[in-house]
Amino acid sequence: MTKLLVITTLYPNRIQFRHGLFVETRLLRLVASGQCDAVVIAPVPWFPIASRRFPKYSQYAQVPTKEERQGIVIYHPRYLVIPKVGMLVTPLFLALSTWLAARKVKQSGYYYDLVDAHYYYPDGIAVALLSGPLGKPFTVTARGSDINLLANIPLPRRMIRWAARKAAASITVSAALKERLLELDVPEEKIHVFRNGVDLERFTPLPRDPCKKKLGVSTTTLVSVGNLIELKGHDLIIRAMPALPDCQLLVVGDGVLREDLASLAASLGVEQRVRFIPAVPQSELVEIYSAADILILASSREGMPNVVLEAMACDTPVVAAAVGGVPEILCDPSAGVLLPRRDVESIIAAIRQLLDDYPQPGTTRRYAERFSWDGTVSGLGDLFNRLQSI
């Protein structure tokens, strides 16, 4: 059994219950397989007060310094983030707080074999800086914007390339991210593709009509799930609604654009057919996916979006932009339609195309079953077992 020290700023906690769920899900699967044991260091930005005057940042102050989730011990050290110049110095502050937490881990009697980091910048950089003091080989999983966006900035790009060369292995959640790492001159033999899986037991189809009734929708229902930020493209879907008079849209998520998106819907005269639902636990997402006729993903960039796999597992086909790893999973008519372009007209045409040739009940679910966690967990377990002896 490989004993992992997982280091990531992307991990759920008692306050931010959906933050980095995909990292926790992979780890829980590895632990449940019996191939790995783990302790997690999940640093959070330092903020001095838990006040309602600062609703976003005060959440950090409420996160406990140590907690346990589903049998896994998690440390939450604080690290300093300085506005405007934070990108350049954050890896240093993150490395310091991580090192202090790692000492506590060792003092607790947990001796790890391998360090498993997630997200290349700043997390992977911080772990690379600590590779000597930590004293064990490390891996970094690239998950999307760390490689697709931050690697376009000169200094982070150099730091990512340096960290990737120091790492025992780089893991990507899609073949597209592997190609991006190759463009950064990371040795191919160090890159391993292990896509995200989907929990086929949790995300399973529920009867559509009762789910629609519970949500108070009756016509063709579209759903867009994700943080209410620009890159998710919720505005494009809302702009498509005037041309889809027989459809309703559920927008699920929280974020700074909530009021702007609501104003957009009102200006287009579709506010009665667009409903905003705050971020919900996964158990409630199953009901929303099952009520929906189509999930729409209009993001400008992604790694391997879980929402696509989750919707398909609930037998709901998808219309999605061809970004990140999406073309690697949306490659069969039973799964849905890949957008030729990321614009309003293409979204409208794709929705109509899918509704005109809608998959038979059960076919989208059967397609999703090929994306279980089994192969990913087995492959990761084997990789970690090999690396711990380096």
Residue 149: what pLDDT?
84
What one-character DSSP code corresponds to residue 72? Answer: E
Q: How confident is the model at residue 37 (pLDDT cuts 50, 70, 90)?
A: very high
Residue 21, Ramachandran bin (φ over 0: left; ψ between -120 and 50: alpha; else beta): alpha
**Domains, the chain, ordered by start:** 2-197+373-387 (3.40.50.2000), 208-371 (3.40.50.2000)
Token pair of 371 as six digits: 């994306």
106-154 pLDDT, tens digit per residue, is 999 999 999 999 999 999 999 999 999 999 999 999 998 889 888 888 9
Q: What are phi and psi of 113, to 5 degrees?
A: -100, -25
DSSP E strands in the chain: the ranges are 2-7, 36-41, 44-45, 66-69, 72-75, 78-79, 114-118, 138-142, 169-172, 191-193, 220-225, 247-252, 274-277, 294-297, 318-321, 336-339
Residue 55: what pLDDT?
61
Q: How many whole angstroms separate alpha carbon 334 and alpha carbon 339? A: 15
Whole-model pTM: value is 0.86
Q: How many whole angstroms separate alpha carbon 304 and alpha carbon 329? A: 9
The answer to whether 288 and 252 are in contact (CB under 8 A) is yes
29-38, 45-54, 60-69, 225-234: lowest mean pLDDT where?
Answer: 45-54
Dihedral (CA of 232, 123, 80, 89) sign: negative
Burial letters 350-360, b for 16+ CB under 10 A, else e: bbeebeeeebe
Q: What are the respective helix, strand and coil percentages of the chain, to the nearest 5?
A: 45, 20, 35
Token pair of 357 as six digits: 């040739």
Q: How confident is the model at residue 390 (pLDDT cuts 50, 70, 90)?
A: confident
176-223 pLDDT, tens digit per residue, is 999 999 999 999 999 999 999 999 999 999 999 999 999 999 999 999
Mean predicted confidence (pLDDT) in 25-49: 92
Residue 50, Ramachandran bin (φ over 0: left; ψ between -120 and 50: alpha; else beta): beta
Residue 49: what pLDDT?
64
Residue scoring higher pLDDT (84 or 14): 14
pLDDT above 70 (res 86): no
Token pair of 17 as six digits: 């219950």
pLDDT above 70 (res 278): yes
The answer to whether 348 and 244 are in contact (CB under 8 A) is yes
Kind and range of the H or E element at 239? helix 234-240
60-80 pLDDT, tens digit per residue, is 888 999 999 999 999 999 998
Dihedral angle of Cα 74, 79, 82, 87, to the nearest 10 degrees: -70
pLDDT above 90 (res 283): no
Nearest to 195 by CA among 118, 303, 299: 303
Dihedral angle of Cα 86, 90, 91, 94, to the nearest 10 degrees: -170
Question: How far does Cα 229 stand from its chain's mean position?
Answer: 14
Q: How confident is the model at residue 99 (pLDDT cuts 50, 70, 90)?
A: very high
Long-range contacts of 146-155 (CB under 8 A, 24+ apart): 146/119, 146/120, 146/121, 147/120, 147/172, 147/177, 147/180, 147/181, 147/184, 148/177, 148/180, 148/301, 148/303, 148/324, 149/301, 150/120, 150/121, 151/120, 151/121, 151/180, 151/184, 153/87, 155/88
Count CA atoms closer than 13 A to 238's CA, side-chain side. Answer: 28
Angle at CA of residue 154, ends 150 and 160, nearest 5°: 60
The answer to whether 1 and 36 are in contact (CB under 8 A) is yes
Residue type at 323 in one-letter notation: V
